[in-house]
Amino acid sequence: MAGQSRVRYISVMTDDVGLFFSFFFAFLGISAVANPQEWKDFFQDLFKRSYSGVLLAFFLLPIGMVILTFHNNWESGFALFITVCGWLATSLGFLCLLVPSLPAKSTEKLLKSKKMIALSGGVLALFSLLSAASFYW
């Protein structure tokens, strides 16, 4: 009996973390659609600094590692999107620590266009909301 309750608890926790980050990413995406100029200004100001990669890693690594710790779920469906985001955040965070100038160089073209920021935010919001809905299906 004790083993079954532990498995049930882990399963519920995995879903809770997945649902949390589904809404977190959806809110980020909606914000990028609603305010692309502010996001463009934010990233342009951030990437002017030589330590921007390290600062970005301070955000990416914890988010990615929490997802991978509690939601490393490789079952098919939209919930898989959160697992992939976790791996991407962890990998990018680690790369930013190794090569702090990487974000500024790799996002140069993306940040020139408000339309690309809004489009990226829309795609993020769409997949995140589909992921959130999949926890209820």
Considering only 6-20, 28-42, 69-83, which range has the smallest mean pLDDT?
6-20
**End-to-end alpha-carbon separation of the chain, Å?**
27
pLDDT of residue 46: 87
Query: C-alpha distances in angstroms, 96 versus 4, 74, 81, 89, 111?
Result: 41, 25, 22, 10, 18
- For residue 130, give both structure tokens: 């589909």
For the chain, domain boundaries: 2-134
Helix, strand, coil percentages for the chain (3-state, nearest 5) = 80, 0, 20
pLDDT of residue 1: 46
Q: What is the pLDDT averaged over residues 30-55? A: 91
- On whether the pTM is more than 0.95, the answer is no
pLDDT of residue 111: 73
